[in-house]
A and B are shown apart, each in its own frame.
Chain A
Amino acid sequence: MSSQFTPNNPLPQEAKVPQEIAVFSPEVEAEMDRHLAKYPVKRSAILPLMFIVQRERGGYLDPPGVAYLADRLGVRITDIWEVATFYSMINTEPVGKYHLQVCKTLSCKIMGAGRVTAKCTERLGIKPGQTTEDGMFSLSEVECLGSCGTAPMMQIGFDYYENLTDEKVDEIINKCQGGELSNGVR
Chain B
Amino acid sequence: MFIGAIGCEPLQLRRVLLDNSASLEVYRANGGYEALQKVLNGMSPDDVIGEVKKSALRGRGGAGFPTGMKWGFVPKDSPKPKYVVCNADESEPGTFKDRYLMERDPHMLIEGMLIAAYALGARTNYVYTRGEYRYLIEIMDVALAEARAAGLLGEKILGTDFNCEIYTHTGAGAYICGEETALLNSLEGLRGHPRMKPPFPAVAGLYGCPTVVNNVETLTAVPDIIKMGGEAYQKLGTEKSGGTKVWSVSGHVNRPGVYELPMGYDDMEKFILEDCQGILGGKQLKAVIPGGSSVYIMPAADIVGKDVRMDYEGLVAAGSSVGSGGFIVMDETVDIFESTKNLTEFYKHESCGWCTPCREGTDWLVKVFKRIESGEGRPDDAQLLLDIVDNIEGKSFCPLGDAASWPIQSAIKKFPEDFRRKVLNGNGHVKDGLPTA
Contact = CB atoms under 8 A, between A and B. Distances in A.
A51 interface: yes
Contact of B94 (A8, A44, A148): A148
8 contacts: A6-B188, A82-B191, A86-B174, A86-B352, A87-B173, A105-B346, A146-B132, A149-B257
B189 A148 contact: no
Given A38-B167, A87-B173, A158 B135 contact: yes
A46 interface: yes
Interface string A70-96: 000100000000110011111000000
A107 B346 contact: no
A160 B132 CA distance: 9
A47 B91 contact: no
B175 interface: yes
B249 to A, nearest CB: 6
Contact of B171 (A3, A40, A87, A142): A87
B271 interface: no
Contact of A155 (B124, B132, B171): B132
Interface string A116-155: 0000000000000000000000000011111111110001
Given A2-B199, A89-B131, A105-B93, A149 B249 contact: yes
Contacts of A8: 188-190, 207
A18 interface: no
Contacts of A110: 251-252, 330, 334, 339
Nearest to A40: B207
Contacts of B186: 47
B62 interface: no
Interface in A48-69: 48, 50-51
Contacts of B401: none
B-side interface mostly: mixed
B92 interface: yes
A106 interface: yes
Q: Which of B99, B190, B249 counts the most chain A CB atoms within 10 A?
A: B190
B256 A149 contact: yes
A160 B130 CA distance: 14
Contacts of A151: 250-251, 256
B104 to A, nearest CB: 14
A184 B352 CA distance: 27
Interface of B: 1, 90-96, 98-99, 124, 126, 130-135, 167, 169-175, 185-192, 195-196, 199, 204, 207-208, 248-252, 256-258, 289, 293, 326, 328, 330, 334, 339, 342-343, 346, 349-350, 352
Contacts of A89: 131-132, 172-173
B305 to A, nearest CB: 24
A41 interface: yes
A1 interface: yes
A144 B1 contact: no
Interface string A20-56: 0000000000000000001111111111101100000
Given A48-B169, A111-B250, 17 more contacts: A6-B207, A6-B208, A41-B207, A43-B188, A47-B131, A87-B131, A88-B173, A106-B251, A106-B339, A110-B252, A110-B334, A144-B94, A148-B250, A149-B250, A149-B257, A151-B250, A151-B251
Contacts of B257: 149
A109 interface: yes
A148 B204 contact: no
Given A41-B189, A110-B339, A149-B1, A48 B170 contact: yes
Contacts of B171: 47, 87
A186 interface: yes
Nearest to B201: A2
A41 B186 CA distance: 13
Nearest to A159: B135
Nearest to A101: B132
Contacts of B124: 40
A107 B94 contact: yes
Contacts of B132: 89, 145-146, 155, 158
B96 A148 contact: yes
